[in-house]
Structure 1
Amino acid sequence: MASSSHRRRPQPDRDFEWRPVRGPLLAVAAVAAVALVVTLVVAFRPGDAAGATGQDRAVSASEAAPSPTADPATPTSPKPSTAAPKPSASARTTPPASAPATPSTTPSRRPASGTDRAASAATTTAPAAGRIRPGTTYQGVATSYDVGNGDGACSYGPTSDVMTAAMNTADYETAKACGAYVSVRAASGTSITVRITNECPAPCAVGQLDLSQQAFAKLAPLSAGRIAITWSLLSPAVSDTVSIRYKTGSTQYWCGIQAIGHRNPLARLEVRTGGGWLALTRTGYNYFLSEQGTGCGGEIRLTDIYGEQLTVPALAVRPDVVQHTGVQFARH
């Protein structure tokens, strides 16, 4: 049973006085309730996009969309660095990427340098033939001269080999023809093989060979003096290997280097340096000079006109001493 404080007994006078007031209060309460319901309906109506603020919409969108880092399959664009990238020592020109690449923690491998390529005893590069080219037949004339002790402009020194020849200056090409084996054919069809050991200056013309008297006599009588010939480069079978000789006066501060006994004409001679291989300048007397002593006494790399390379281990600087290498160019 409810207490008297919550439920009062009706009294005639008070009942009469309260009746007129109770109606308006109930009406106001009803109006307020209706207004509250209308407000709630408007506030929570799903189609009212305008009722949401920009912040509310951003929160809703971020909650609905997946996080960029939550899905590893979703590509992300790394934030570009504010610092300018440092050029690599071996920088290559490449088209710019649409987004800067994330630097790798693993150092990139440098391109193989000449030093790396010299690890094997023999490698092949692009052909380096000069005026005298393999597989080419040249026309000219042959004359003869007395070779004496066999020495000549190629600085090979005295020799008992008399099947030699001097090449005209143009085809001598600053000693590039030195050591070349040449097949010489006369109009009669007789042919011989000679090795170039000397230079024939003017009036020797392009294509002319000045043969040793012994070689000329195998093609025609010496009295003929001058005969028409054709000649071409050979890559013959040889029993010797390449040797190296340092020029008289060579030291670790200046040296001249010569290669002897190579099967094919020599196109280039290089020495090993701290930065790789350095090509030395060839002289007309068939030595390659290192004016500052760079590479003197170090490894040597030889390249023939076919592009084959031979690496010779370091040899002591011993002037005017022939040092054998045990390597030889391939036959072609």
Structure 2
Amino acid sequence: MASSSHRRSRPDRRPARIPAIAVVAVAAVALVVSLVVAFRPDGGSGGGQDKVAPVAGAPASVSPTATASSASPEPKPSTASPTATASKPAAGKTPSASPTTAPASTRPSAEPTPRTPVAAAAPSAGRIRPGATYKGLATSYDVGNGDGACSYGPTTDVMTAAMNTADYETSKACGAYVLVRAGGKSVTVRITNECPAPCEAGQLDLSQQAFAKLAPLSAGRIPITWSLLSPSTSDTISIRYKTGSTQYWCGIQAIGHRNPLARLEVRTNGGWSALPRTEYNYFLSEQGAGCGDAIRLTDVYGERLTVEGLAVRPDAVQATRVQFARR
């Protein structure tokens, strides 16, 4: 028989006794917690997500909403500086607005070209324009006493010409000085007449004296080029009222203007009124408006001259003190 001294003694496993008061306290706390959870507003359900209150003093972490992942991020403005050689936008696309952060020291690459007031204000010169060269034919005719369709009356100046009907243009060519060239020669003539058909556009019917300076009269027809001329002159412009003019009806004619006349106006109670021009080179005021009042003349370059103090004196040539500038 084995000796009892070889057996190990078992440890004492009896639990320590807990006071009854502590057990009651723990049970009460558990009951309170259960009641708090059961009576929460959301019924104790967290919806699958626990809400965590931020710790005081720490930044709150905002959870993204359900639509946050589908929203496009805000575009960031470009930091690239625009250059003077920026390419043009493609067809159909609207160019973006210029960035407001462009340096204040940016300057245009070139100064704007100043405008010429006279050229901008110049009225239509009709078919014959300053600075243009025209091609055509030259013929000749006997001018007689120098009178013609422009109604200037007889003259001893034989260096004149008749303008073809197309370029005569209801007497707009009347009084114009024209430089005519042919075969290395040239002559200056003043338009005092109209050359009807068969004269063609560009054609000038020169006085025999003027034609002879370019070619023998026996040549008949010669090719020419011609252009407007603003000649040197010491004369001033004259005004003539047509025969039969009164304060109730009048026709007004300007004579001796250096440059072609584009417009004639009379001053009325309502301001300046432009008068219509006839084929015989008078400007008519059929209702008498402005007859005997101030007259304003405008040439094909846009220069304006005002004449005042002229009475209605039919068929009398009245001198003025004005003349258009030489161009």
Q: Deviations over 1:229-266 (max 9, x none)?
A: 00000011111100000000101110000000000000
- Distance in 2 (alpha carbons) for counterparts of 1:295 and 1:182: 32
The match for 1:194 is: 189
Q: Mean Cα displacement is larger for which, 235-244 or 126-135?
A: 126-135
Is 2:133 aligned against 1:172? no
- Alpha-carbon shift at residue 128 of structure 1 (Å): 2.8
- Alpha-carbon shift at residue 125 of structure 1 (Å): 3.1
The match for 1:181 is: 177
- Distance in 2 (alpha carbons) for counterparts of 1:273 and 1:189: 51
Q: Runs of at least 4 residues of structure 1 off by over 2 A?
A: 124-128
Does structure 1 retain, via aligned residues, the 8 Å contact 2:139–2:211?
Answer: yes
TM-score, normalisation: structure 2: 0.63
- Distance in 2 (alpha carbons) for counterparts of 1:203 and 1:329: 34
**What percentage of residue pairs aligned between the two structures are identical?**
84
- Distance in 1 (alpha carbons) for counterparts of 2:311 and 2:208: 39
The match for 1:247 is: 242
* Aligned-partner SS, 1:282: coil
Is 2:155 aligned against 1:159? yes
Is 2:132 aligned against 1:143? no
The match for 2:48 is: none
The match for 2:294 is: 299
* Aligned-partner SS, 1:175: coil
2:280 to 276, 285, 301: 285
The match for 1:327 is: 322
Q: Deviations over 1:53-95 (max 9, x none)?
A: xxxxxxxxxxxxxxxxxxxxxxxxxxxxxxxxxxxxxxxxxxx
Q: Deviations over 1:21-45 (max 9, x none)?
A: xxxxxxxxxxxxxxxxxxxxxxxxx
- Distance in 1 (alpha carbons) for counterparts of 2:124 and 2:234: 24
- Distance in 2 (alpha carbons) for counterparts of 1:314 and 1:293: 17
* Aligned-partner SS, 2:155: coil
* Aligned-partner SS, 1:202: coil
- Distance in 1 (alpha carbons) for counterparts of 2:283 and 2:309: 16
- Write the letter of the residue equivalent to 2:131: G
- Distance in 1 (alpha carbons) for counterparts of 2:258 and 2:122: 18
The structure that is helix-richer by fraction is 1
Does structure 1 retain, via aligned residues, the 8 Å contact 2:123–2:262?
Answer: no
Does structure 2 retain, via aligned residues, the 8 Å contact 1:128–1:304?
Answer: no
Q: Deviations over 1:177-219 (max 9, x none)?
A: 0000000001x21000000000000000000000000000111
- Write the letter of the residue equivalent to 2:309: A
- Write the letter of the residue equivalent to 2:186: S
- Alpha-carbon shift at residue 294 of structure 1 (Å): 0.6
Is 2:224 aligned against 1:229? yes
* Aligned-partner SS, 1:231: strand
Does structure 1 retain, via aligned residues, the 8 Å contact 2:162–2:205?
Answer: yes
- Superposition pairs of residues 1-332 of structure 1, within 5 angstroms: 125-186=121-182, 188-332=183-327
The match for 1:44 is: none
* Aligned-partner SS, 2:210: helix
- Distance in 2 (alpha carbons) for counterparts of 1:129 and 1:151: 24
Q: Deviations over 1:82-115 (max 9, x none)?
A: xxxxxxxxxxxxxxxxxxxxxxxxxxxxxxxxxx
The match for 1:77 is: none
- Write the letter of the residue equivalent to 2:201: V
Q: Deviations over 1:110-162 (max 9, x none)?
A: xxxxxxxxxxxx9x933431111111110000000000000000000000000
- Write the letter of the residue equivalent to 1:207: G
Change (3 A) 1:127 1:292: closer
Which of these two proteins has the greater Rg computed from alpha carbons?
2
Does structure 2 retain, via aligned residues, the 8 Å contact 1:300–1:314?
Answer: no
- Write the letter of the residue equivalent to 1:139: K
- Distance in 1 (alpha carbons) for counterparts of 2:268 and 2:252: 15
Does structure 1 retain, via aligned residues, the 8 Å contact 2:170–2:278?
Answer: yes
- Write the letter of the residue equivalent to 1:230: T
